[in-house]
Amino acid sequence: MSGTVASKGSGSKYVSAEVIAREYDVPVSQVHRGAREGWLPVMKFGRYSRFDPQKVRTALEEEPATCQTKGQGKSGDSK
């Protein structure tokens, strides 16, 4: 539980890939892949990656097709 949320002076909270993965019910590796490929916004602190949940949500809402086509599609489309 501890160590997953980092606060910034402006009140924004950055969370670990594990928190984002849990929120969207996807493997942590997919969150890291999104950050690496550039379709998930990420803050890098040396070798550590942290994510702003609001920015991740916005990115997924604005570009859902990009996110789906670049992933492996394990969850599948429900359409």
Please say whether the dihedral angle defined by the alpha carbons of residues 45, 46, 49 and 55, taken in this order, is positive or negative: positive
For the chain, domains (ranges, CATH) are 10-68 (1.10.10)
Q: What is the mean pLDDT of the chain?
A: 79
Q: What is the pLDDT of residue 63?
A: 74
> Which pTM value belongs to this model?
0.67
71/29: higher pLDDT: 29
Distance, CA of 26 to CA of 3 (rounded, Å): 20
pLDDT of residue 65: 58
Between CA 52 and CA 66 the distance in angstroms is 19
Give residue-wise pLDDT tens across range 19-56. Answer: 999 999 999 999 999 999 999 999 999 999 999 999 99
